[in-house]
């Protein structure tokens, strides 16, 4: 499976500010995914990011709030914009493995918004 790293591992931010989370994969991958894991809730897909095209957002998530970049086949960023305490969560990036339907996850970014 690919090795996935994320930066930062955690952060505490003030409301109204923005945070950009980086995801780096050790091999080239076509699809990268961003998930949110809120306390007591299921892992929820935010968007799918393919290199060279606009990210595809799931219902309830919009580009203005969660802009995503995918500049190459090994890297992606997710920005959480104009944060509120409701954005406190773990944010995870994910990629598909060599087997067609396996998905692997990074270690996550733990965000607290005050």
Partner 1 sequence: QKEVEQDPGPLSVPEGAIVSLNCTYSNSAFQYFMWYRQYSRKGPELLMYTYSSGNKEDGRFTAQVDKSSKYISLFIRDSQPSDSATYLCAIQGGSEKLVFGKGTKLTVNP
Residue selected from 42, 64, 85, 114 as contacting partner 1 according to rule CB under 8 A:
42
Residue selected from 49, 77, 106, 113 as contacting partner 1 according to rule CB under 8 A:
106
Q: Which stretch binds partner 1 (CB under 8 A): 14-22, 66-74, 77-85, 92-100?
A: 92-100
Tell me if 2 contacts partner 1 by CB under 8 A: no
Residue selected from 22, 48, 74, 79 as contacting partner 1 according to rule CB under 8 A:
48
Tell me if 73 contacts partner 1 by CB under 8 A: no
Residue selected from 14, 41, 85, 86 as contacting partner 1 according to rule CB under 8 A:
41
Give 61-67 contacts, CB < 8 A, sequence gap 24+: 66/34
Please, which residue, 32 or 83, has the CB nearer to partner 1?
32
Minimum CB separation from partner 1 for residue 82, in Å? 26
DSSP line for the chain: ---EEEE-SEEEE-TT--EEEEEEESS--SEEEEEEE-TTS-EEEEEEEETTS--EEPTT--TTTS-EEEEETTEEEEEE-S--GGG-EEEEEEEE-SSTT-EEE---EEEEE-
């Amino acid at each position: 499976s690919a090795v996935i790293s994320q930066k930062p591992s955690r952060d505490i931010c003030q409301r109204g500010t923005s945070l950009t989370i980086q995801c780096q994969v050790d091999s080239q991958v076509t699809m990268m995914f961003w998930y949110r894991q809120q306390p007591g809730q299921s892992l929820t897909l935010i968007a799918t990011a393919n290199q060279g095209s606009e990210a595809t957002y799931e219902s309830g998530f919009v580009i203005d709030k969660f802009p995503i970049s995918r500049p190459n086949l090994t890297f992606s960023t997710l920005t959480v914009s104009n944060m509120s305490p409701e954005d406190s969560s773990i944010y995870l990036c994910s990629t598909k493995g060599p087997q067609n339907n396996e998905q692997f996850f990074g270690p996550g970014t733990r965000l607290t918004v005050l």
